[in-house]
Amino acid sequence: MKKQPEKIPVRVVFSNPIHWLAFGFGSGLAPVAPGTFGTLVGIPFFIAMAGLPLPLFLALTLLLFVVGVWICDRSSAALGVHDHPGIVWDEIVGYLVTMIAAPLQWQWLLIGFLLFRLFDILKPWPIRWLDRRVGGGFGIMVDDLLAGIFSLAIMQLLLAIY
């Protein structure tokens, strides 16, 4: 049986800017489903970015991914736990990838949220393979990037149909 990671004290997350970002501004401290709460934090990010021209949206998402590699690597190393469930910066970025070129309408926010959570939880191949074999901050971020890409593909298909 896999050992559960330690619960991280609130004071540790809120007293360290790296942990605070990695834990999605505290959303990763949720006692259940921290990844879901982290994904919820992605919604205001998308709303703030939705009006940007597509190249700028893509560049900002890429920047958040690259910064996330560093943030997640530093936080997980300091905690001594690779990909602690409370580290949810990857979910925020994965949701933004899902929402590339999506309209700013509540239905698409919800569809994107559900698709991303589905792929992030189920981790179909090669997502699970990467999740188990790639370490460090890049390993934390890459499985959610791929879940976001899978979700993005379905979102764009749905947008083309509707």
Whether 94 is covered by a domain: the verdict is yes
Number of domains in the chain: 1
pLDDT in tens, 55-90: 999 999 999 999 999 999 999 999 998 889 999 999
Question: Which domain does 125 fall in, by range?
Answer: 31-161
Whether 131 is covered by a domain: the verdict is yes
**Burial, 53: exposed, middle or buried (Cβ in 10 Å; 0-12, 13-18, 19+)?**
exposed
Whether 40 is covered by a domain: the verdict is yes
Joined tokens for residue 16? 């360290």
Whether 3 is covered by a domain: the verdict is no
Nearest to 27 by CA among 71, 111, 91: 91
Whether 110 is covered by a domain: the verdict is yes
Whether 13 is covered by a domain: the verdict is no
Whether 24 is covered by a domain: the verdict is no
pLDDT in tens, 48-64: 999 999 999 999 999 99
pTM of the model: 0.94
For tokens 């991914």, the residue is 65
Whether 26 is covered by a domain: the verdict is no
Question: Is the separation of the CB atoms in 154 and 112 below 8 Å?
Answer: no
